[in-house]
């Protein structure tokens, strides 16, 4: 294949409700989707990807405008120069560029989608996925009051979601967790996510979470604190899960060796793409470490790809693969992901199995960058 054009469609998608985490509140999702046109023996083919970086460098060092600039100035020229491009070689062609995994992942994703469409192969078949559905969990942001939180969780439980994840931060942790567990009983699969809001000094406080029989506590400490997560894991009964700390297979190997992760949250954008995500899955499975697929408020493009990834055998816990309507009143794909009976279907169409609705996408487009050799 030969890469002929990249278009970055910059979007601002309103959320159905504000989403609050330990680092802020989002009322809309700013993103860009990558449209890659490649030449193949059968003619030109288009593939789609999306960038999961946030507006500001609060979740990771990357931010959205920076990812777009890196793509324009360095990623695109490097890939335009490749005579025979394959998705499996994108990372190698870009390894001279330090960091920027989300920018790299978005382009690799679009190339992979085009490559699979060119041979009429689904992403799930490419991965060797046998499951037809995967369990669907939901992430609940920090609410203003406990009563409001319980009302929101009731809605998701009644809808049939397979697992509840609650965002927490200092001052909004023990009381809401205790309230949810008391309201819904011991059988509700329930976990918490701190998004690096604590330090090891908070260990005596965090140990009170052990009283609530949680599936896991996700990323309580800073992203660089793999060793300290290992220390905290030895002080708590609740299984330790790493998110922000796992930026590569090498980081996953370090976390496993140091006893810092009984569980790993795999987010393809954060680790540099879906092929790196598969490598982390394989490594974790070989070491008996459970993995699940996290979410970054993806559109239907990334949501479909995540559903296929989560079909791999090592994904033994429900991921953040909710229906599109959890976040968006209107998705940008023709057939948005739908949660039913606690699961979502693994797409089986060519590529990631979804089609972009250009008319709907245009309503939320704030700008388009066209990149050519």
State mean pLDDT over 104-118: 98
Domain that residue 335 falls in: 124-345
d(CA 207, CA 15): 34
Burial class (CB in 10 A: 0-12, 13-18, 19+), 92: exposed
Confidence band, pLDDT 50/70/90 cuts, at residue 333: very high
Q: Do 92 and 145 have their domain in common?
A: no
Q: Do 165 and 73 have their domain in common?
A: no
CATH number of the CATH domain containing 216: 3.20.20.120
State mean pLDDT over 326-335: 96
pLDDT in tens, 41-84: 889 999 999 999 999 999 999 999 999 999 999 999 999 999 99
d(CA 112, CA 349): 14
Q: Do 205 and 260 have their domain in common?
A: yes
Confidence band, pLDDT 50/70/90 cuts, at residue 286: very high
Q: Do 222 and 324 have their domain in common?
A: yes
In a domain, 353, yes or no: no
Q: Do 177 and 300 have their domain in common?
A: yes
Cα Rg of the chain, angstroms: 20
pLDDT > 70: percent of the chain: 100
In a domain, 301, yes or no: yes
In a domain, 278, yes or no: yes
Q: Is the pTM of this model over 0.85?
A: yes
One of 29, 104, 165, 167 is an active-site residue; which one?
A: 167
Q: Do 176 and 267 have their domain in common?
A: yes
State the number of CA atoms in the 13 A half-sphere of 143 facing the CB.
18
Q: Do 171 and 317 have their domain in common?
A: yes
Cα 329 to Cα 189, 305, 324, 347: the distances in Å are: 27, 20, 8, 21
Q: Do 213 and 245 have their domain in common?
A: yes
In a domain, 231, yes or no: yes
pLDDT in tens, 148-184: 999 999 999 999 999 999 999 999 999 999 999 999 9
Would residue 165 show up in a list of annotated catalytic residues for this protein? no
Is the pLDDT at 24 greater than 90? The verdict is: no
Confidence band, pLDDT 50/70/90 cuts, at residue 23: confident
In a domain, 352, yes or no: no
- Number of structural domains, the chain? 2
> What pLDDT, on the 0 to 100 scale, is given for residue 225?
94
d(CA 31, CA 62): 13
Q: Do 18 and 135 have their domain in common?
A: no
Q: Do 262 and 169 have their domain in common?
A: yes
Q: Which of 124, 90, 112, 110 is nearest to 49 (CA)?
A: 110
CATH number of the CATH domain containing 39: 3.30.390.10
> What pLDDT, on the 0 to 100 scale, is given for residue 42?
84
Q: Do 279 and 139 have their domain in common?
A: yes
Would residue 267 show up in a list of annotated catalytic residues for this protein? yes
Which pair of tokens denotes residue 14? Answer: 């309103």
Which pair of tokens denotes residue 58? Answer: 């609060």
One of 29, 104, 165, 267 is an active-site residue; which one?
A: 267
Q: Do 33 and 90 have their domain in common?
A: yes
């Amino acid at each position: 294949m030969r890469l002929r054009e990249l278009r970055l469609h910059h979007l601002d998608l309103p959320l159905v409700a504000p989403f609050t985490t330990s680092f802020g509140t989002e009322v809309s999702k700013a993103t860009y989707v990558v449209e890659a046109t490649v030449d193949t023996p059968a003619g030109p083919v288009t593939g789609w990807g999306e960038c999961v970086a946030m507006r500001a460098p609060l979740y990771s060092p990357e931010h959205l405008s920076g990812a777009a600039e890196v793509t324009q100035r360095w990623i695109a020229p490097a890939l335009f120069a490749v005579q025979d491009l394959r998705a499996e070689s994108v990372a190698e062609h870009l390894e001279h560029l330090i960091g920027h995994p989300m920018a790299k992942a978005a382009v690799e994703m679009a190339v992979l989608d085009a490559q699979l469409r060119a041979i009429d192969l689904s992403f799930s078949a490419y991965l060797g996925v046998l499951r037809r559905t995967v369990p669907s969990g939901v992430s609940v942001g920090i609410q203003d009051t406990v009563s409001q939180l319980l009302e929101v969780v009731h809605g998701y439980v009644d809808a049939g979601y397979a697992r509840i994840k609650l965002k927490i931060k200092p001052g909004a942790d023990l009381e809401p967790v205790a309230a949810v567990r008391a309201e819904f009983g011991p059988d509700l699969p329930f976990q918490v996510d701190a998004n690096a809001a604590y330090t090891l000094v908070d260990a005596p406080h965090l140990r009170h979470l052990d009283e609530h029989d949680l599936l896991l506590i996700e990323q309580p400490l800073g992203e660089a604190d793999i060793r300290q997560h290992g220390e905290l894991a030895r002080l708590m009964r609740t299984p330790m899960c790493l998110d922000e700390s796992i930026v590569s297979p090498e980081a996953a190997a370090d976390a496993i060796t140091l006893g810092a992760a009984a569980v790993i949250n795999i987010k393809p954008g954060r680790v540099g793409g879906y092929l790196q995500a598969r490598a982390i899955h394989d490594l974790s499975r070989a070491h008996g470490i459970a993995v699940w697929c996290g979410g970054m408020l993806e559109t239907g493009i990334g949501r479909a790809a995540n559903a296929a990834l989560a079909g791999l055998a090592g994904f033994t816990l429900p991921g953040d693969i909710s229906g599109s309507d959890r976040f968006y009143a209107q998705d940008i794909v023709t057939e948005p992901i739908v949660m039913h009976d606690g699961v979502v279907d693994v797409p089986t169409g060519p590529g990631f199995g979804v089609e972009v609705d250009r008319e709907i996408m245009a309503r939320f487009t704030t700008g388009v960058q066209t990149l050519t050799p």
